[in-house]
Amino acid sequence: MAAIPQSARKLVVVLLLCAGATSARAQDIEPRAYSNAPVGVNFAIVGYVFTRGGLNFDASLPITDARLHTSNAVFAYARVLDLRGRTAKFDMIVPYTRLFGSAQFNGATVERAVTGFNRPAFRLSVNLYGSPAMQLREFSGWKQDLIVGASLQVSPPWGQYDDSRIVNIGSNRWTIKPEIGVSKARGAWTLELQAAASFFGDNEDFLGSKTRSQDTIYSLQGHVIHAFHGGQWLSLDATWFAGGRSQIDGAERDDLQRNWRAGMIYALPLGRLDSLKFSASSGLSARTGNSFDALGMAWQHRWGGGL
């Protein structure tokens, strides 16, 4: 591979996961969510994520001993914007999932094999402090110090759903997730912290005619990121989420969540416009028995904004 100029390496380090493909679930791990990037840059992401174990998509379902596997193709797009002089970003993600496995429901074993679209997610984020909107020529000489940002992600009740089945890919409800994040850089190291709350609408077609509701889930993420020569970087990550007790027709269930996950992400640039990201995460502690393992890989292509 040809040597990458120093200015291009700086750009790659920031852009590798600026628009990383994620969904609106509390247990997701996403470093560099509020990194700066030149205005007008677009991102296209294609990824694959495999999970096994408990429920990675809806931990409040009234099932136990979940032994479910999912294979997920992920398609995403993002664009960096100038919002009154601050860096902002719009991104969207559309997952396509194959789910198969078994679980216990009311003392009986239920099996499920289904393929379809998962719920999409749309997000607008803005860096409120320490991240001015810049064109590429200005950005090449910029160095991060402290960034404070916020975002709002919305997931509509779309995706595969069968109201006669207990396990589905989609959840047939709205999800709204506001978040605030802080990122501090010092040399090759970056420390990040994100706090969020996920609010859920009701599913009024649960198992036919029942209504399933869920309390807010609160989550925290922490990341320690180290940048290496040539634009590579490695992130060690942890997330904690709690809350989310659910009700079925007003009857409260004993499914309060209080879970921990940890993982790591490695990013590898493929020239100026393309990069690969490899990820792995696992549940460390799960009150509700919904711990799962996940392995993922994503390819990202960037264009526009003078690149």
Angle formed at CA 134 by CA 129 and CA 137, multiple of 5 degrees: 145
Q: Give the pLDDT score at 4.
A: 44
Give the list of residues 6+ apart from residue 139 with CB closer than 8 angstroms, or none.
Answer: 11, 36, 37, 38
Helix, strand, or coil (residue 13) = helix
Amino acid in the structure at residue 56: N
Tell me the C-alpha distance between 19 and 231, whole Å. Answer: 16
Name the H helices within the chain: 6-15, 136-139
Residue 76 corresponds to which tokens in the numbers above? 């995403």
**Cβ of 37: how many Cβ atoms within 10 Å?**
26
Q: Give the pLDDT score at 117.
A: 96
Q: Give the pLDDT score at 59.
A: 67
pLDDT digits (tens, 9 = 90+) for 24-43: 344 567 889 999 999 999 99
The values of phi and psi at residue 198, to 5°, are -110, 120
Among candidate residues 294, 251, 303, the one with its CA nearest the CA of residue 272: 303
What residues in the chain have per-residue pLDDT under 50? 1-5, 7-10, 12-26
Radius of gyration of the chain (CA): 20
Give the list of residues 6+ apart from residue 246 with CB closer than 8 angstroms, or none.
Answer: 60, 62, 212, 213, 214, 215, 252, 253, 255
Q: Give the pLDDT score at 286.
A: 76
Residue 132 per-residue DSSP state: B
Q: Give the pLDDT score at 28.
A: 66
Q: Domain 6-303 in CATH: superfamily? A: Autotransporter beta-domain (2.40.128.130)
